[in-house]
Structure 1
Amino acid sequence: MAPGLPASLERPHFIGIGGAGMSGIAKILAQRGAKVAGSDAKDSETAQALRALGATVHIGHAAAHLADDASSVVVSSAIRADNPELVRAAELGIPVVHRSDALAALMDGLRPIAVAGTHGKTTTTSMLAVSLATLGREPSYAIGGDLDAPGSNALHGAGEIFVAEADESDRSFHKYAPEVAIVLNVELDHHANYASMEEIYDSFVTFAGRIVPGGTLVISADQDGARELTRRVEGVRVVTYGEAVDADVRVLAVVPQGLKSEVTVLLDGRELTFTVSVPGRHYALNAVAALAAGAALGVPAEELAPALAAYTGVKRRLQLKGEAAGTQVIDSYAHHPTEMTADLEAMRAAAGDARILVLFQPHLFSRTQELGREMGAALALADASVVLDIYPAREDPIPGITSELIIDAARAAGADVTAVHDKQAAPGVVAGMARPGDLVLTMGAGDVTDLGPLILDQLSR
Structure 2
Amino acid sequence: MAPAVPTTMDRPHFIGIGGAGMSGIAKILAQRGAAVAGSDAKESATAAALRELGATVHIGHAADHLAADATCVVVSSAIRSDNPELAAAAERGIPVVHRSDALARLMDCLRPIAVAGTHGKTTTTSMLAVSLDSLGLDPSYAIGGDLAGPGTNARHGGGEIFVAEADESDRSFHKYAPEVAIVLNVELDHHANYASMAEIHESFETFVGRVRPGGTLVVNADQEGARELTRRVAGRDGLDVVTYGEDKDADVRVLDVTAHGLTSEVTVDLKGTELTFTVSVPGRHYAHNAVAALAAGVALGIPAADLAGALGTYTGVGRRLQLKGEANGVQVIDSYAHHPTEMTADLEAIRGAAGDARVLVVFQPHLFSRTQELGTEMGRALALADASVVLDIYPAREDPVPGVTSALIIDAAQAAGAEVRAEHDMAAVPAVIAGMARPGDLVLTMGAGDVTDLGPRILARLES
- TM-score w.r.t. length of structure 1: 0.99
How many Å apart are 1:149 and its aligned residue? 7.1
Aligned equivalent of 2:74: 74
What percentage of residue pairs aligned between the two structures are identical? 81
Cα shift at 1:151: 6.1
Q: In the alignment, is residue 426 of structure 1 matched against residue 402 of structure 2? A: no
Q: Which runs of 5+ in 2 are unaligned?
A: none
**Paired position in structure 1 for 2:23:** 23
RMSD: 0.8
Deviations 1:178-200 (A, max 9, x none): 00000000000000000000000
The residue that corresponds to 1:223 in the other structure is 223
1:11 touches 1:37 (CA, 8 Å); kept in 2?
yes
1:166-315 pair list within 5 angstroms: 166-233=166-233, 234-235=236-237, 236-315=239-318
- In 1, distance between residues paired with 2:150 and 2:390? 28
Residues 74 and 150 (structure 1), Cα distance of their counterparts in 2 relative to 1, 3 Å cut? farther
1:260-292: CA deviation from partner (whole Å, max 9, x where unpaired): 111110102110011111100000000000000
2:63 corresponds to which letter in structure 1?
Answer: A
Give, in angstroms, the shift of residue 127 of structure 1: 0.0
Which residues in structure 2 correspond to 1:406-421 (within 5 Å)?
A: 406-421=409-424
Letter in 2 for 1:50: L
In terms of mean alpha carbon deviation, does 176-185 or 235-244 score higher? 235-244
CA deviation string 1:44-80 (max 9, x = no partner): 1110000001000000000000011100000000000
Q: Tell me if 1:128 matches 2:128.
A: yes
Cα deviation code 1:26-53 (max 9, x no counterpart): 0000000000000000011110000001
1:341 is aligned to 2:340:
no
Q: Is the 8 A contact 1:49 1:150 kept in 2?
A: no
1:24/1:151 contact within 8 Å kept: no
Letter in 1 for 2:295: A
Partner of 1:117: 117
Which residue number in structure 2 is paired with residue 32 of structure 1? 32
Structure 2: which amino acid aligns with 1:217? Answer: L
Q: Distance in 2 between matches of 1:297 and 1:431?
A: 49
Given that 2:36 and 2:56 are in contact with CA atoms closer than 8 Å, whether structure 1 keeps it comes out as yes
Separation in 1, partners of 2:324, 2:214: 44
Whole-Å separation in 2 of the counterparts to 1:30 and 1:68? 19
How high is the TM-score relative to the length of structure 2? 0.99
Deviations for 1:285-313, whole angstroms, at most 9, x for unmatched residues?
00000000000011111100010011011
Q: SS where residue 182 of structure 2 aligns?
A: strand
Measure the CA separation in 2 of the matches of 1:151 and 1:193. 32
Q: Which amino acid aligns with 1:456?
A: L
How many Å separate the matches in 1 of 2:176 and 2:290?
23
Give the letter for the 1:243 counterpart: E
Dislocated runs of 4+, deviation >2 Å: 148-151
- Post-superposition offset of 1:13: 0.1
Q: CA contact under 8 A between 1:50 and 1:151: conserved in structure 2?
A: no
* 8 Å Cα contact 1:18/1:40 also seen in 2: yes
Offset of 1:427 from its aligned partner?
1.4
Q: Which moved more, 1:150-159 or 1:220-229?
A: 150-159
The residue that corresponds to 1:159 in the other structure is: 159
What stretches of structure 1 of length at least 5 have no aligned partner? none
- Cα–Cα, structure 1 residues 263 and 149, in superposed 2: closer, same or farther, change >3 Å? closer
Aligned-pair CA distance for 1:110:
0.1
Structure 1 match to 2:379? 376
Task: Identify which range, 229-238 or 27-36, moves more after superposition.
Answer: 229-238
Instruction: For 1:146 and 1:425, locate their aligned partners in 2 and report how far apart those are by CA, in whole Å.
Output: 28
- Give the alignment of 1:322-333 within 5 angstroms: 322-333=325-336
For residues 258 and 10 of structure 1, the distance between their equivalents in structure 2, rounded to whole angstroms, comes to: 48
2:460 to 443, 452, 457: 457
Measure, in 2, the Cα distance between the counterparts of 1:365 and 1:376: 15
Contact kept, 8 Å, 2:149 with 2:315, in 1: the verdict is no
For residue 440 of structure 1, what is the amino acid of its counterpart?
V
Q: What is the CA-CA distance between 1:150 and the residue it aligns to?
A: 8.5
Partners of 1:420 and 1:67 in 2: CA distance: 44
Q: How much has 1:6 moved relative to structure 2? A: 1.2
Matched AA of 2:248: V
Separation in 2 of the partners of 1:426 and 1:355?
18
Corresponding residue for residue 356 of structure 2: 353
CA contact (8 A) 1:68 1:92 kept: no
Mapped contact 1:46–1:151 kept (Cα < 8 A) = no
Structure 1 counterpart SS, 2:360: strand
**Other-structure match for 2:394:** 391
Question: Where does residue 101 of structure 2 map in the other structure?
Answer: 101
Letter paired with 1:318: L
1:430 CA displacement: 1.2
Superposition deviation, residue 2 in structure 1: 1.8
Counterpart of 1:48 in structure 2 is 48
Q: Does 1:446 align with 2:460?
A: no
SS at match of 2:438: coil
Question: 2:51 and 2:86 mapped to 1: Cα distance?
Answer: 22
Query: How far is 1:431 from its partner?
Result: 1.3
Q: Measured at CA, do residues 149 and 334 of structure 1 come closer, stay the same or move farther in structure 2, by a change above 3 Å? A: same
1:310 partner SS: coil
Check the 8 A contact 1:325/1:436 in 2, yes or no: yes
Equivalent in the alignment of 1:435: 438
For each residue in 1:377-410, what CA deviation from the matched residue of structure 2 results, as whole angstroms up to 9, or x when unmatched? 0000000000000000000000000000000000
CA distance in 1, matches of 2:279, 2:331: 21
Q: Is residue 46–residue 150 contact of structure 1 (8 Å, CA) maintained in 2?
A: no
Quote the Cα distance in structure 2 between the aligned partners of 1:209 and 1:283: 27
Which residue identity lines up with residue 226 of structure 1 in the other structure? A
Letter in 1 for 2:393: I
Tell whether the 8 Å contact from 1:362 to 1:403 is kept in structure 2 after alignment: yes
Question: Number of residues paired by the alignment?
Answer: 461
